[in-house]
Amino acid sequence: MLPLSVAQHSITVMLLQRAALGGRVDPLSELRELLHDAEEGLLGFDAISVIKPFLGDGFRALSKRLEHVVFLRYGLPPWTSAEHARHKRADRQAAASEAVHVAGWSREEVRRTLKIQAAVLEDDPLAGVYGGAPWEPWPPALACERFLAELERLTRLLGDGNRDGDGTA
């Protein structure tokens, strides 16, 4: 079985956020959801939440700096408190669901060990959009293709940095 990629997880979080907001998500917010873990790609390391405290302040600071660089590159504003809270709900729900359906953790292990209290989804949001077997990790090339297609779609909608239509961002 393949591991679940950060790309696939990121698309899941984007789709969960879209569903939570009744489909009324602007491209800028969707792009921020899609890129919410981009620093993990730059680090080459996906630290699960429960081990991050053990990695220390230096790791936390580096992750924040990398997130800032990604947001700067794509013209994304920082999260507001309300936006970040909504994002974390979707991110935790995706993580809990992926832990159960992909990694084989029990719901109790997710709550006790991973410290994630979010409800576990039964339906895979990706299956409704892309088809395929629910909760099945995509091959790396397919995950890359789909992630890049979403990135291209959203940057095209945003005018690739030209938000005002007059040459200014």
- What does the pLDDT look like over 81-107, one tens digit per residue? 999 999 999 999 999 999 999 999 999
Longest dimension (CA), the chain: 53
On the CB side of 68, CA atoms within 13 Å amount to: 6
Tell me the pLDDT band of 160, cut-offs 50, 70 and 90.
Answer: low
- 78-97 burial, b at 16+ Cβ within 10 Å, e below that, comes to ebeeeeeebbebbbbbbbbb
**102-154 confidence digits (pLDDT tens):** 999 999 999 999 999 999 999 999 999 999 999 999 999 999 999 999 999 99
165 pLDDT higher than 60: no
23: phi then psi, degrees, rounded to nearest 5: 80, 0
Return the CATH number of the domain spanning residue range 6-157.
1.10.3210.10
Burial class (CB in 10 A: 0-12, 13-18, 19+), 134: middle
Q: Whose CA is closest to 90, among 118, 52, 126, 129? A: 118
- Identify the CA nearest to 36 among candidates 50, 23, 17: 17
pTM of the predicted model over 0.75: yes
On the question of pLDDT at 163 being above 50, the answer is no
Q: State which H helix or E strand residue 120 sits in.
A: none
Indicate if the pLDDT at residue 43 is higher than 60.
Answer: yes
Write the CB contacts of 41 (distance below 8 Å, at least 6 apart in sequence). 6
